Structure 1
Amino acid sequence: MQLPTPEDLKKRRNELGLTQSELAKRAGVSQPLIARIESGDVDPRLSTVRKILNAFEEAEREQQIIIRDLMHSPAIHVSPEDLVEDVVNLMHIHGFSQIPVLEKGIPVGSVSEDLIVKLMGESKKKSISQLKVSGIMGEAFPTVSPGISISVVSHILERNPAVLVIEKGTVVGVVTKHDVMKLLQN
């Protein structure tokens, strides 16, 4: 077994599009140590090299997973004209905590448990249940194409509960944080 040189490690990190900080976090070491290893200032322990190589392998696996393989299709959704009561029932049946709002196949908003609970605290239950979705919906979820990698979608999901997958102008699927977390079980 030939150990990689500092140049080899830096080249592979750059090919994977990782910063020194991202690699350090994945490998469980400090960013200054990565910088020193790549510059040749320090000769790392074998265990440290193994951690770095494992981090590279993990990053490669993530980049090989594309959203088409992970998304739920068809995307269960509601329309702006649906009643909140119907949305709550649909979310309950499917175990969703949020749901996209589509109008003629185009994302126009979203409804989440958090939003409904907030509205319930501000009003009476009956008055909310008979409202139309268009009167309470939040912003639409971000959209991506089906060929995008899981690493890109993971970053989007850090700030959003779900991502819609659009192909040829039509919503073909949805990916949630829960879907990405399920990858850890494999």
Structure 2
Amino acid sequence: MNVPSPDELKELRKKVGLTQSDVAERAGLSQSMVARIESGSVDPRVSTLKRIVDVLNSAQRSLVTAKDLMHAPVISVSPVDTIVKTVAKMEEHGISQLPVLQKGVPIGCISESAIIAAMEEGKISRSMKNTVSDIMEDGFPTVSPSVDIETVVHTLHYHHAVLVMEKGQVTGVITKHDLITLLS
């Protein structure tokens, strides 16, 4: 374990925008103890140092926003696009679901699962003239660019993707795969 110096602790605390009192409260310590640890006048127990580091790491993760994680531009389809064109776009980009946008505003989504279900139910004709609007599903949830990563993680627990919207227009997309990249 890399043990941070008192100066490193103080620098990280300031970087994440916490006061000594904030750290103390979240770590279950007194503010004076945090001050003494940061000044180097006391050598804390490993368990105390771990609690402080955990608080600072948690606060640092909260600094990551949807804008930091999103992909842009968003690959999407229109409700009037054909299923054939949609499948080709999915194959080209290696994507299993796409948002359906109309003038930049999300109105639904289409997925490989929806296409297969429509095929099984006979909703897609052999002529392949069906459009996205014939089988699209409810859209992905949306968030603002400034929303914290914890909110995105929670939302992605229930949905395949989250759209990032700014000024009424889709500006980015975040998928479960994007969250996994945070680990590296």
TM over 0.5: yes
Match of 2:98, SS state, is strand
Change (3 A) 1:122 1:68: same
Change (3 A) 1:80 1:54: same
* Alignment partner, residue 114 of structure 1: 113
Structure 1 residue 13 displacement after superposition: 6.3
Is contact 2:23-2:56 (8 Å) kept?
A: no
Structure 1 residue 118 displacement after superposition: 1.8
Taking the aligned partners of 1:128 and 1:119, their CA distance within structure 2 comes to 14
Change (3 A) 1:118 1:96: same
Normalising by structure 1, we get a TM-score of 0.70
Taking the aligned partners of 1:52 and 1:125, their CA distance within structure 2 comes to 57
Q: Whose radius of gyration is greater, 1 or 2?
A: 2
* Alignment partner, residue 30 of structure 1: none
Amino-acid identity (%): 41
* Alignment partner, residue 9 of structure 2: none
Match of 2:62, SS state, is helix
CA-based RMSD of the aligned residues comes to 2.7
- After TM superposition, the runs of 4+ consecutive aligned structure 1 residues lying more than 6 A away are 7-10
Taking the aligned partners of 2:56 and 2:115, their CA distance within structure 1 comes to 42
Taking the aligned partners of 1:92 and 1:164, their CA distance within structure 2 comes to 21
Is contact 2:98-2:110 (8 Å) kept?
A: yes
* Alignment partner, residue 100 of structure 1: 99
* Alignment partner, residue 168 of structure 2: 169
2:178 paired with 1:179: yes
* Alignment partner, residue 62 of structure 1: 61
Taking the aligned partners of 2:68 and 2:105, their CA distance within structure 1 comes to 22
Structure 1 residue 141 displacement after superposition: 0.8
Structure 1 residue 114 displacement after superposition: 1.6
Superposed CA offset, 1:85-131 (max 9, x none): 11111011111111100011111000112212222222286538431
* Alignment partner, residue 133 of structure 2: 134
Taking the aligned partners of 2:164 and 2:108, their CA distance within structure 1 comes to 15
Structure 1 residue 142 displacement after superposition: 0.8
Given residue 64 of structure 1, which amino acid in structure 2 is its aligned partner? L
Change (3 A) 1:140 1:8: closer
Match of 1:78, SS state, is coil
Is contact 1:101-1:108 (8 Å) kept?
A: yes
Is contact 2:145-2:164 (8 Å) kept?
A: yes
Q: How many equivalent residue pairs?
A: 150
Change (3 A) 1:178 1:103: same
Normalising by structure 2, we get a TM-score of 0.70
Structure 1 residue 155 displacement after superposition: 0.6
Q: Which among 1, 22, 26 is matched to residue 12 of structure 1?
A: 26
Taking the aligned partners of 2:93 and 2:59, their CA distance within structure 1 comes to 33
Match of 1:138, SS state, is coil
Given residue 84 of structure 2, which amino acid in structure 1 is its aligned partner? E
